[in-house]
Amino acid sequence: MSRPKLLLVYEPEKACLDRLVADGHAPERAGEIASYLAQSTDLAHEFDALAAACLTRGLAFTPVALDDAPAVFAGEDPKTTLVWTLTDGIAYFRGGAAPALARLRGLKTIGADDSLFALCQDKFRSGAVLGGLGLPVPQAGLARNGNWLVEPPASPAGWFVKPNRLGAKIGIWPDSRCNDLGHALDLSRRVFAAYRDDVVVQPYVAGRNVRASFLGLVPDTGVEALGVAFVDSGADFQTMADSMALYGGTGEAAKAAGDYAEPDLLPVADSQPVADAKIRAIAERLMSGLGLRDVFSIDLRVEADDTVHLIEFEVCPGLPCFDFRAYCRQQWDASLADAMADTAVSRLA
């Protein structure tokens, strides 16, 4: 029998950028879109550490660029090969193809099945599914280039406008929270012109931003291993500029200049244990009803009275990002490389 092997499939940031520019996207906008693959760029610096962590556990490690995956998968043994897909995507990004290709070849995978890789990238459709499961997700309208496809519900607090398939929860611009549906339609025109995307228009929900992270280091790990933290950046919501400052080119420049500042992570259970319990119940429902498993994250808003709003789920959380690294340290007392290697070994055991 061949040696057990972990294949980590990633979509390179540069490959995405080049493809988007070739498809006619303005270079600056293409750079913003491709910045969401910065985790692939960041994790590449740790491939040697991952290989060493796997080696000490009797496991081979091979990073695989997405375009090379079909040929690599064809030569692997389904009994001893595990595929971990680093990035999702069905529109601007293409990582959702990797788990489908793995299934086609009969290879084991880490994470949710490929249907959720597609669903999580379409926020309007995923919101409908989450609402059907009885989860507290805001209702949404959908607009394309200034025209309503689905009108949003009334909202005395105003609305929040975000791209449907890009960046999920970010608002792109500071005026993405608006009090006028005419302005929401104008934002949809701007998003369509810049990114060729529809917009989701949801009632604005108050509260603090929360990230719930999960890694099932061993099979059958439950929501007791969920890390639930307020993400306090000082802003009400994340814009494209904020995202670039954390993950994109401006973030790299800030790190080089010593000006990089990560948001504070504060355990929700310390100040709002009732909200923490609600979030764990939501995660349990997502695992049992939707099929999330192995590794995922959830973004929420929590009000002072413990009202919880589910914003989105991610099947490919940003593993090398500050929040997931902190989660691995606090929950599993492990570096990112060791946590990933232990998870892979447990699935191949």
Tell me the pLDDT tens digit for each residue of 280-313. Answer: 999 999 999 999 999 999 999 999 999 999 999 9
pLDDT of residue 166: 83
Phi, psi of 83 (to 5 degrees): -110, 125
pLDDT of residue 56: 97
Give pLDDT tens digits along the chain (349 positions).
678 999 999 999 999 999 999 999 999 999 999 998 999 999 999 999 999 999 999 999 999 999 999 999 999 999 999 999 999 888 899 999 999 999 999 999 999 989 999 899 899 999 999 999 999 999 999 999 999 999 999 999 999 999 999 865 455 788 889 999 999 999 999 999 999 999 999 999 999 999 999 999 999 999 999 999 999 876 666 666 666 665 545 445 445 555 456 788 999 999 999 999 999 999 999 999 999 999 999 999 999 999 999 999 999 999 999 999 999 999 999 999 999 999 999 999 8
pLDDT of residue 173: 80
Q: Tell me if residue 41 falls in helix, strand or coil.
A: helix
Q: Tell me if residue 329 falls in helix, strand or coil.
A: helix
Phi, psi of 71 (to 5 degrees): -70, -40
Please give the single-letter amino acid code of residue 102.
Answer: A
pLDDT of residue 137: 97
Whole-angstrom distance, CA of residue 95 vs CA of residue 273: 36
pLDDT of residue 232: 84
Whole-angstrom distance, CA of residue 144 vs CA of residue 150: 10
Q: Which class for 148: exposed (0-12), middle (13-18), buried (19 or more C-beta within 10 A)? A: middle
pLDDT of residue 250: 44
pLDDT of residue 251: 47
Nearest residue to 310 via CA among 236, 207, 158: 207
Give me the chain's average pLDDT, please: 91
pLDDT of residue 175: 87
Q: Output the CA angle 181-198-26, nearest 5 degrees.
A: 115
Whole-angstrom distance, CA of residue 80 vs CA of residue 69: 17
Q: Tell me if residue 317 falls in helix, strand or coil.
A: coil
Looking at CATH, the fold of the domain delimited by 208-332 is given as D-amino Acid Aminotransferase; Chain A, domain 1 (3.30.470)
Q: Residue 42 in contact with residue 36, Cβ under 8 Å? A: no
Residue 110 Rama label (left phi>0; alpha psi -120 to 50; beta): beta
Where in the chain are all domains bearing CATH 3.30.470.20?
208-332
